[in-house]
Structure 1
Amino acid sequence: MDEDMLHTGPVAALSAVLDLPEPVAGAGDPLPPLWHWLYFLNWPARSELGPDGHPLHGHFLPPVPARQRMWAGGRCEITEPLRLGRPTERVSSLSAVTVKHGRTGEMLFVTERREFRQDGRIRLVEEQDIVYRSGRSKGRHPEVLDETGTPESDAQWRLPYHPDTRLLFRFSALTANTHRIHYDAPYCREEEGYPAPVVHGPLLALLMLELPRLHAPTRQIRAHSYRLRHPVFTGEHFALHGTPSGDGARLSVATHRQAQHATSEVIFA
């Protein structure tokens, strides 16, 4: 079990990083969904990091050599919103480990479960799906990015976005993410085969949730699931799309290259 105080400083910092006009919450106010990723951070010693910037050893697993780590998606159930300015407990456990074989080789799917408690009550339960792919092979990615503008859509909710390296650097610092694909352009091209630094999958998940916060601000999110499908790169214009329904909404991230780089579904209380 880990303990942390949900101070307001990280919320104000992320509000600035996302270019929100002012901090979205103060002490005692509810924490927006997924913003708990700003807390309970792990800062291993530099000697404990691998060549890609990731920690050499996971929380629960033995060393997994010569594998590429990718955040594939997750789910979140919110019984009560976490409140800022209050002590919070987190209990982490390994939910599942599954080995699969694909065209790129062996893949290890790891699901980590986390419970967050305040005032003795479980308020939020989260599962994160991480994939460890065997070997270090360059994927099939575009050599030239289309930077002409955001794709058209008839979605009811739309929000254009144009990430740059400053955004990625600051988000990496706020979330203690040292993976080099987010800030080291030569490493991205030469080692991973990417044309530019990769936008964080968790950042895409957070940005998708800006749609219901903008267009349905009085609705509380009870459940949220997301899947990260294809990488988005710095320099690309993308759009956040949302289609509301009676009790929730379907969200996605689109570029001219792909209609669904990431997808999400929210259910309102």
Structure 2
Amino acid sequence: MVGESDAGIAALKSSIEGWHPTPTIEDDPLDPRQANRLAATLDLDGTYSAGDELPVPWQWVFFPDWPPTAALGADGHPEHGHFLPPIPHRRRMFAGSTMTVTRPLRLGGVTEKRSGVERLEIKHGRSGAMLFVTVRSEYRQDGDLCVTEDQTIVYRSDRSASRPYRRAEADLVTGDAPWSAEPAPEATTLFRYSALTSNSHRIHYDRPYVSDVEGYPDIVVHGPLLATYLADLARLRGRRQLREFTFRLTRPIFLGDRFRAEARPDGDTVTMRVVTGDGIEHVRATGRFG
């Protein structure tokens, strides 16, 4: 076991040796229509106009990354991307993010996004050696820093299906959180969210690929979508914008699973989670109101 672990870590280290992607800079006008598309996808009331504050983590539906179809790999992600590590048979999973709002982003204003690799970590988990890549993105308007996000993606090298998770089997029990909601995303919800976030990863729409290649029991609900449900629950029920938001994805949720978003406020802070069954956690989050 130890030998296999050491070999996997050594192989990952060898794959990324010399990989030092340079920082990138992008611009986006933060068109309010894109925010309204997300609101419609999430079945939220109200519309957004130029000058309105953009809630976190809604910045994810801006700065689209849309390479040619011919440049996509077998998993639907770009075969080669600026922040994609050169790992053979690469598998990708969103791990979590930490966001800090110094000044709210305003819709309709030209926004600069500066991104760079903040850290690389290699760990060994139950599915083998994994590479954690944390990319820091800083969003600026009028030269001022508005939002900082540290986003961590986990990569592993694996040619075969691993069947790492099963869907929730127990019925969703009643919870006691002061704020809660039970979103029920459908296949069309996932399709629209994928389009809004420029995400062509096949685990979110291609059932044969999901089961035969990735080894999951069904289409996977986007981790960022689950985090958005939590952030929106806190924002709408607390009637205040989040100035800090941190979340960690622990287990995937599959299309058709019944789940609940929960939030427990305590003054200016709030703890959140997504659960299935009798309290199995899939997402854990914390936030602070401004």
TM-score (norm 2): 0.87
Partner of 1:86: 109
Equivalent of residue 171 in structure 1, options 190, 193, 218: 193
| Cα separation, 1, equivalents of 2:221 and 2:87 | 24
Gaps of 5+ in 2: 1-24
Cα distance, 1:256–1:266 mapped onto 2, change above 3 Å: same
Q: Judge conservation of contact 1:33–1:221 (CA < 8 Å) in 2.
A: yes
Aligned runs of 1:10-25 on 2, under 5 Å?
10-23=34-47, 25=48
Aligned-residue offset at 1:104:
2.2
Counterpart residue type for residue 20 of structure 1: L
Percent identical pairs in the alignment equals 45
Instruction: Give the alignment's Cα RMSD to 1 decimal.
Output: 1.6
Q: Which has the higher helix share?
A: 2
Aligned-residue offset at 1:61:
4.7
Counterpart residue type for residue 39 of structure 1: F
1:192 aligns with 2:192: no
- Can you list the C-alpha shifts for 1:126-178, whole angstroms capped at 9, x where unaligned? 01001001214323322x65496x43111111101112111101100111100
Q: Detail structure 1 runs of 4+ shifted over 3 Å in the superposition.
A: 144-148
Cα distance, 1:62–1:227 mapped onto 2, change above 3 Å: closer
1:27 aligns with 2:50: yes
Cα distance, 1:76–1:145 mapped onto 2, change above 3 Å: closer
1:130 aligns with 2:153: yes
Partner of 2:19: none
| Cα separation, 2, equivalents of 1:212 and 1:46 | 37
Q: Specify the SS of the correspondent of 2:70.
A: helix
Aligned runs of 1:96-245 on 2, under 5 Å?
96-136=119-159, 137-142=161-166, 146=169, 150-217=172-239, 219-245=240-266
TM-score (norm 1): 0.94
Equivalent of residue 270 in structure 2, options 246, 249, 253: 249
Q: Specify the SS of the correspondent of 2:280.
A: coil
Q: Specify the SS of the correspondent of 2:182.
A: strand
Cα distance, 1:265–1:133 mapped onto 2, change above 3 Å: same
| Cα separation, 2, equivalents of 1:61 and 1:234 | 27
1:45 aligns with 2:56: no
| Cα separation, 2, equivalents of 1:258 and 1:50 | 36
| Cα separation, 2, equivalents of 1:77 and 1:240 | 22
Aligned-residue offset at 1:116:
0.4
Aligned-residue offset at 1:211:
1.4
Q: Judge conservation of contact 1:56–1:63 (CA < 8 Å) in 2.
A: no
Aligned-residue offset at 1:262:
0.4
Q: Judge conservation of contact 2:168–2:257 (CA < 8 Å) in 1.
A: yes
Counterpart residue type for residue 151 of structure 1: V
Gaps of 5+ in 1: none
Q: Judge conservation of contact 2:87–2:157 (CA < 8 Å) in 1.
A: no
